[in-house]
Amino acid sequence: MKESKWKQFLGVWNTKTIVGVAIGAALFGVLMVFGGIKIFSNTSLTSAMVVVVVVAALFGPVPAALTAGIGNVIADLIGGWGFWFDWSFGNLVLGLFVGLLPLYGAKISEGIFKVKHAIIYVITCIVGNIVAFGLVTPLLTSLFYSQELAITWLQAASAIVSNGVVLIVIGIPFLFLLAKRNASKTNLKKED
């Protein structure tokens, strides 16, 4: 029986999911602070985005969104630079887009991730980055902090590029490997 799109969007919530989100958020926060290379003011090429890919592949959109959003709050706490909820919410939105994998047929836990899924994933990551950091974050920066948006736009542009690089260059091979690993567990065979 096929799962409804709504159920795929929410993900299956059980102890494993809650622990996965909690560990993912903590790891995301630590990697945001210590696992990146600064490319612009308060913006890094960070390995934390790989955590979002893993949570998205294992649990779906809402768990991935919570991992990225809460993880950013943890990074703000660890980093000591204050809380930037505009960026936390931006990461939450990006996590939601990255987690859309099951909605377009990619079932990593069942070993299903094909080239067509990778293409849709790339498009989804690009659109998600643009929406999250090109629209949502600047809008919230303006609403929450009433700041001049010039620096925010530059930070957003560098975040879009750096997150896109990590999500695509590292994320796609990782998703193929994870799907292949899970396919071998389910005894699925590749058709010619």
Which pLDDT belongs to residue 192? 47
Look at residues 29, 40, 163, 174 and name the one whose alpha carbon lies nearest to residue 101.
174
CA-based nearest residue to 31, from 48, 55, 54: 48
Confidence of residue 40 (pLDDT cuts 50, 70, 90): low
Burial of 56 (0-12, 13-18, 19+ CB in 10 A): buried
- The pLDDT confidence band at residue 182, using thresholds 50, 70 and 90, is confident
Report which listed range, 32-46, 58-72, 73-87, 101-115, is most confident.
58-72
Contact 133, 160 (CB under 8 A): yes
Is it the case that residue 54 has pLDDT exceeding 90?
A: yes
Higher pLDDT residue, 172 or 5?
172
Q: Tell me: pLDDT of 72 over 50.
A: yes
User: Which tops the pLDDT comparison, 127 or 146?
Assistant: 127
Residue 1, pLDDT > 60, answer: no
pLDDT > 50? residue 16 = yes
Please write the tens of the pLDDT for every residue from 101-119.
Answer: 988 888 888 889 999 999 9
Contact 118, 172 (CB under 8 A): yes
What tokens were used for 83?
Answer: 């809380």
Q: pLDDT value at position 162?
A: 87
Cβ-contact 96, 64 below 8 angstroms: yes
Task: Report helix, strand or coil for 129.
Answer: helix
How many angstroms from the chain centroid is the CA of residue 121? Answer: 11
